[in-house]
Structure 1
Amino acid sequence: MTDEYILLYGNSYTNSNIYYVTKFLSPDPFLCLVSKDLKDKKIFLSEMETGRALKESNANEIKSYRDYNYDAIYRRYKDPGVAFANLILKILKEQGIKKISVMRDFPSFFYEFLKDEGLPLKILKDPFRDRRRRKGEEELNKIKKAQKACEISLGTVKKIIEHAKVKKRTLYYKEKELTSEYLRVTIEKTLLENGSFCDGVICASGRDSSDPHSVGHGVIREGEPIVIDIFPNLMNERYYSDMTRTYVKGEPNEDLLNMYDAVFDAQELAFKELKAGRRCEEVHLAVCEYFESLGYGTERKNDKEGFIHSTGHGVGLDVHEPPSIGRNDERLVEGDVVTIEPGLYYKEIGGVRLEDIVAIKRDGYVNLTKLDKKFIIG
């Protein structure tokens, strides 16, 4: 058995590495010791969570703080931070582990305390990065489950836009003005009904859509773009998906129609570049060059409007994870799950973005997104 271990601390709802290692969901922070080969996993947590951890986690060893007489430690030091730092020290000494590493997000107070106590801690950049990029079949199925919820919710609001009536260029649904807020609440409710949730659903129309991450607000008007970006997180399995569609109710102007055609074609161009071994930058620059050939601005030219972000990103236990499909030397690997999401943004016109999620294979890719890309509705 290895004598090198990584020490993790946090809650597994927000710390995806801890969930990745332990497969245990806890809203309260807990300690985890994992060997570098991930074969030996030990978790230490409060007594109230121990029973559940025994049933749900994949740890080889599970102990409660009470096993280390934490109550007495707390009474001695009174300060919660100092007491818990001493608990960590006691656990590490009793475990007899000689080589310990922590990640960059490990609490600095605990790190300094343990260093002062003579523990030779080493800081690691991201020891699980490469493993997490290569999604296996089980992980892929969870991402597909999230994507199904995503498509159901987006399909629901697409029907609302289809059935909306236009009065004096404003959209009405059920006799009320149709707003970004109404679409967002509908998406959030539908996601919950399908075992997922999403913080910050984007339903941006008109000028709001020219800001890639504006969540959108106010009434929706005829002929203006409606950018809907949903990135659901499974409530139990914790995996994400990510998808964007752009719609318009009624007839778009020529500039907006040309933008949509350009984004659609740019995405198709990017798809053709995808396979294991391809440099991410090659995919991104192919998209930039295409947009530039049509006279649109791009981020590689430092333009403020046009294509102003990367072509995509990895998706898994985090909605944004490696690799970034942008200007870098990283290469795609088999097992990567990434988005391909070209977009164009102009303040006087609005924005257009299309985003699919794909799995990278040795000689190509598989598109996990099934929803159509119809632009003009009704």
Structure 2
Amino acid sequence: MKQDIDRLMQERDLTAILIPADHNYSPALDYLVGHVHITGGFALKKIGESPVLIVGIMEIEEAAATGLTVYSDNQFGWAEIRASDYENPTAEFWATCLKQLGVEAGKIGIYGVGELNLLLAIQQYMAQNHPQYQLIGEKAPTLFDLAAMTKDADELMRIRSVAERTVSVQQATWDFIQQHQADATETVIKADGSPLTIGDVRRFILIQLMERGLEDTGMIFAQGRDAGFPHSRGQDHMPLKLGQPIVFDLFPRELGGGYHHDTTRTWCIGYAPPEVQKIYDDVMTAFEVSLEAYGLNKPTHLMQEAVLNYFESQGHPTSRNDPQTTVGYIHSLGHGVGLKIHEAPRITHLSNEDTFQVGQVITIEPGLYYPEQGIGVRIEDTFYIAEDGSLISLTPFRKDLILPLF
């Protein structure tokens, strides 16, 4: 949780954390200072102290909404530095701010988003001209990965809200498709007789998300053969057809960046062919196997291994018994969810480092994929691990395979 940041800084021997602001949304910046729309400057946190923000004069009021101490960049001489002949004015400005804010030397952890070439140039300049500062990056799991692995009450409240709105969009999408009819070729059609396409459905979903204060981050609405590739987004021109599996994976976040929800359902419009029903039943059983394998403080890989055991017992290839396979069960079972759509912990047989802990928000998403048979099935709920160790679903939406038309 956020209260762990100072401890994690101490473990890394960091004197301070610096997170540059950018036009792109930054989960690390949001986590450290709260949801704020600033496009320049940076946040600085010294160990044992609250963060401060250094921003341009145009964004002072926006930054002040965080309740943190805010400085104008001109208070540190940015206008003069920028007008000078320094080889890297931004790096020189960073060094000036660090010194004036009481960071005389030490390791400075750099996090967030930005253009890699610019950050590397800053690091090189600092090493040459201000060697008292060591700009430090780190591989995953980072300080922020570990802190964000468990959520506090405020974070959970935001995630619950996103979940409720996402489930509302799932229901609206079900209702929208259901109000259509099919023609003699088993094509779903609109009132004027033209085909209802994936693009039509996607546009409907985007509007529904926006009306609920959410934004899409790359939804999957893939039908038939496309559903057999786990991350195929689906083809907008494709008409919806009866009896073909549709993988609908929706993982929106708060509008403008923020907390996510992640959920997948598989639908067959009108009817399900026997071969699709069989695969669906196997995936649903795997979902139940996952829940039975859960236990507080248990290693997460044991849940994945229980699902692998089940799928392999049913004759499905898996990435464990055939690491080269492109069909069957070919991905991990789940992941953490928060300001990033994929966070720790990981639920995979390829790592035994993570355990289930109170405060985690995780997905469970078994799936089977046979693209040349025109079949892909995945079911996914997001869960929260409560104080008593119980696993609470945040996705109370039906898991019916068949979506009937009126």
Q: When the two structures are superposed, what TM-score results if normalisation uses the length of structure 1?
A: 0.93
Q: In structure 1, how many angstroms separate the alpha carbons of the residues matched to 2:15 and 2:23? A: 22
Paired letter, 1:162: Q
Question: Is the CA contact 1:7–1:100 (under 8 Å) kept in the aligned structure 2?
Answer: no
The reply on whether 1:334 has 2:344 as its aligned counterpart is: no
CA positional deviation for 1:353: 0.6
Change (3 A) 1:376 1:14: same
Q: In structure 2, how many angstroms separate the alpha carbons of the residues matched to 1:63 and 1:9? A: 14
CA positional deviation for 1:340: 0.4
The reply on whether 1:377 has 2:379 as its aligned counterpart is: no
Unpaired stretches in structure 2, ≥5 consecutive residues? 1-5, 114-118
Question: Is the CA contact 1:243–1:356 (under 8 Å) kept in the aligned structure 2?
Answer: yes
Paired letter, 1:193: E
CA positional deviation for 1:57: 1.3
Q: Secondary structure at the match of 1:228?
A: strand
The reply on whether 1:113 has 2:159 as its aligned counterpart is: no
When you count strand as a share of all residues, which structure comes out higher?
A: 1
Please, which of 91, 96, 100 is the counterpart of residue 90 of structure 1?
96
RMSD: 2.0
**In the TM superposition, what whole-angstrom CA distance separates every residue of 1:124-145 from its partner, at most 9, and x where no partner exists?**
5312222211111211111111
Q: In structure 2, how many angstroms separate the alpha carbons of the residues matched to 1:122 and 1:46? A: 23
Larger relative contact order (CA 8 Å, sep ≥ 6): 2
Counterpart of 2:290 in structure 1 is 270
Q: Secondary structure at the match of 1:300?
A: coil
CA positional deviation for 1:199: 2.5
Question: Is the CA contact 2:25–2:257 (under 8 Å) kept in the aligned structure 1?
Answer: no
Question: Is the CA contact 2:18–2:111 (under 8 Å) kept in the aligned structure 1?
Answer: no
Q: In structure 2, how many angstroms separate the alpha carbons of the residues matched to 1:244 and 1:142? A: 20
Counterpart of 2:107 in structure 1 is 100
Of all paired residues, the percent bearing the same amino acid is: 27
Question: Is the CA contact 1:281–1:326 (under 8 Å) kept in the aligned structure 2?
Answer: yes
Q: In structure 1, how many angstroms separate the alpha carbons of the residues matched to 2:262 and 2:100? A: 44
CA positional deviation for 1:239: 0.6
Question: Is the CA contact 2:383–2:392 (under 8 Å) kept in the aligned structure 1?
Answer: yes
CA positional deviation for 1:314: 0.5
* Number of residue pairs the alignment of both structures matches: 373
Question: Is the CA contact 1:11–1:26 (under 8 Å) kept in the aligned structure 2?
Answer: no
Counterpart of 1:368 in structure 2 is 394
Question: Is the CA contact 2:186–2:241 (under 8 Å) kept in the aligned structure 1?
Answer: yes
Counterpart of 2:381 in structure 1 is 356
Q: Secondary structure at the match of 1:263?
A: helix
Counterpart of 1:214 in structure 2 is 232
Please, which of 368, 373, 379 is the counterpart of residue 344 of structure 1?
368
CA positional deviation for 1:176: 2.5
Q: Secondary structure at the match of 1:77?
A: coil
Q: Secondary structure at the match of 2:344?
A: strand
Q: In structure 2, how many angstroms separate the alpha carbons of the residues matched to 1:10 and 1:51? A: 15
Question: Is the CA contact 2:123–2:135 (under 8 Å) kept in the aligned structure 1?
Answer: no
Please, which of 156, 162, 171 is the counterpart of residue 155 of structure 1?
171
Unpaired stretches in structure 1, ≥5 consecutive residues? none
Q: In structure 1, how many angstroms separate the alpha carbons of the residues matched to 2:311 and 2:102? A: 59
The reply on whether 1:310 has 2:318 as its aligned counterpart is: no
Question: Is the CA contact 1:11–1:18 (under 8 Å) kept in the aligned structure 2?
Answer: no
Q: Secondary structure at the match of 2:166?
A: helix
Counterpart of 1:140 in structure 2 is 156
Change (3 A) 1:36 1:372: farther
The reply on whether 1:43 has 2:63 as its aligned counterpart is: no
CA positional deviation for 1:58: 4.0
CA positional deviation for 1:151: 1.1
- Structure 1 stretches of at least 4 aligned residues deviating more than 3 Å after TM superposition: 103-106
Q: When the two structures are superposed, what TM-score results if normalisation uses the length of structure 2?
A: 0.87
Paired letter, 1:103: I
CA positional deviation for 1:78: 7.5
Counterpart of 2:3 in structure 1 is none
